[in-house]
Amino acid sequence: MDAATSGRSWRRAVGALAVAAVLALASASAPAATTYTHGGWCKAGSSAAWRRTLSHHVTAVSKTTAMVPLALAHDGRSFFAEVYSPRFSGVARVESRTSAVMRIKAFPDPKFDQAWGAFDGRWLVWNEYHGFDSFDDFTTWAWDSRTRKLTQIGAATRGPNGQFWESPWRGADVRRGIATWVQGVGPDELGEVHSYNLQSGRDLVVRHGHPGGGFLLDHHLVVWTEASARGVPTRMHAASALTGRPVSLPRALRGLRNVTGLQTDGRRIGYPDARYKSLWWAPALGAQPHEVVGTRHLDHVDNSVSVGGRYVGFGVFPDVYVADTKTRRYIEVSTNGGSAFVDSRTLLVVHGPRRKVLHAILRMALVPLRDLPPIPACR
């Protein structure tokens, strides 16, 4: 597997686009992952307090209904998810304490459609993928949580042969009322980076070339990966999401090559390296990233990294960890696959499935950060 495209291939091989590829591969009999640190974060010992806290905050509906989280709702009590049930399959908001499911948009194909997106506190934006093994046939949607208005803001296009142009593996992103996504528009992976103003409805193409997946940073910066030529390592590029003009990259992104799994809360970044062998972290966009966790042997850091303030979620299959960047410690929160979503208010731990089915039951625990016990001392 090519290091530069391992994120795309990994997600295509499974189907649960909104979470780590490890979800569909989880097995209770899988061997324990091996991590190491050298001057980075240290692995804490097991904690009964953490196990009790996660058990106390399990979302009841997740034990009976198949769903895959899309994004946290930034309110400390709910999240957005793909829901698959006999009564409804589509995008919904899930209230953790009451298990109430508020329907937002049904999938045209309730069995094989999927979503992958983000929430900025007001707007939920996602790509709706039609089919379980391709990123090329999709529509892009925006839902305003204040007015509950649903709007289609983009769609994949077809070539002369009727097939959809190839698009990158990353879903739509949104920050401060600006949405971005990358879609194929021609042969040889020709594509465009879109910046869509959700207030005005203006759709601005900030790049026409051969971009990879895009994302947004604070101060209305849109960033994407792109290589200068075939076979050359990809670099990060940036433009103003408001004007489309190229801008200088923040220091944290300047040295990155072939990185496809980067995640950010707009101010900080975390990502697996190009070979998915180690986790890197920068506490500010003006800081130089440094390696904080490494893996040995056949283990890899997967593409489920999540960044929210001082906390970072990441996975080394079959284990899932949550790190406190202030104390420089991380703790295991799942041993059977899954992922961890985190923002400035909430932690969502998603456990892997107990059996391999198309839409598995994934037990989830949504915990307000104020309820988290301290991460214990390292072993």
The pTM assigned to this predicted structure is 0.91
Name the phi and psi angles at 56, rounded to 5.
-70, -25
Partnered with residue 281 across adjacent β-strands are 270, 290
What pLDDT, on a 0 to 100 scale, did the predictor assign at position 318? 95
Residue for token pair 């379980």:
132
Are 124 and 142 in contact by the 8 Å Cβ rule? The answer is yes
pLDDT value, residue 332: 97
**Percent of the chain with pLDDT strictly greater than 90:** 86
Q: Which residues, including other chains, have CB under 8 Å from residue 14's CB and lie 6 or more apart?
A: 21, 23, 24, 25
Q: Is 48 helix (H, G, I), strand (E, B) or coil?
A: helix
Helix (H, G, I), strand (E, B) or coil at 251: helix
Domain-wise residue ranges, the chain: 3-371
Q: Indicate if the pLDDT at residue 206 is higher than 80.
A: yes
Phi, psi of 3, deg, nearest 5: -60, -35
**Tokens representing residue 65 in the block:** 């209904």
Tokens of 367: 């915990």
What number of CA atoms fall less than 13 Å from residue 166's CA on the CB side?
10
Length of the chain: 379
Q: Is residue 205 within 8 Å of residue 193, measured between CB atoms?
A: yes
- Alpha-carbon span 365 to 173, nearest angstrom: 24
pLDDT, residue 134, reads 81
Q: How far is CA 377 from the centre of its chain?
A: 29
Residues forming a β-bridge with 320: 315, 334
Contact 376, 44 (CB under 8 A): yes
Decide if pLDDT at 14 tops 50: no
CA distance 318 to 329: 19
pLDDT at 25: 38
Tell which residue, 274, 250, 237, has the closest CA to residue 2: 274
Residues forming a β-bridge with 226: 211, 235
Name which of 107, 153, 111, 159 is nearest 136 in CA terms.
159
* pLDDT tens-place string over residues 233-291: 999 999 999 999 999 999 999 999 999 999 999 999 999 999 999 999 999 999 999 99
The DSSP code for 44 is B
The C-alpha atoms of residue 230 and residue 210 are separated, in whole angstroms, by 10
Rounded CA separation 275/301 (Å): 9
- What does the pLDDT read at residue 11? 33
Helix/strand/coil (H, E, C) string of 268-286?
CEEEECCCCCEEEEECCCC
- Residue 73, pLDDT > 80, answer yes
Q: Tell me the pLDDT band of 35, cut-offs 50, 70 and 90.
A: confident
In degrees and rounded to multiples of 5, residue 174 shows phi and psi of: -150, 140
Say yes or no to pLDDT of 354 above 60: yes
Options 2.40.50.700, 3.40.30.10, 2.130.10.10, 3.40.47.10; CATH of 3-371: 2.130.10.10
Q: Hey, what amino acid is at 84? A: Y
Indicate whether 65 pLDDT > 80: yes
Q: Across the chain, what does the average pLDDT equal?
A: 91
202 — phi, psi (to 5°)?
-80, 125
* Cα-to-chain-centroid distance, residue 307: 9
Angle, alpha carbons 35-37-40 (nearest 5°): 135
Give the lowest-confidence range in 15-29, 195-209, 312-326, 339-353: 15-29
Q: What is the pLDDT of residues 212-240, one digit of tens each?
A: 999 999 999 999 999 999 899 999 999 99
The DSSP string of 26-53 is --TTSPPP-EE-SSS-EEBPP-HHHHHH
| Per-residue pLDDT at 4 exceeds 50 | no
Q: Using one digit for the tens of pLDDT, what is the confidence trace for 120-169?
A: 999 999 999 998 778 899 999 999 999 999 999 999 999 999 999 999 98
Q: Give the separation between CA 6 and CA 11, rounded to whole angstroms.
A: 9
Q: 342, 308 in Cβ contact below 8 A?
A: yes
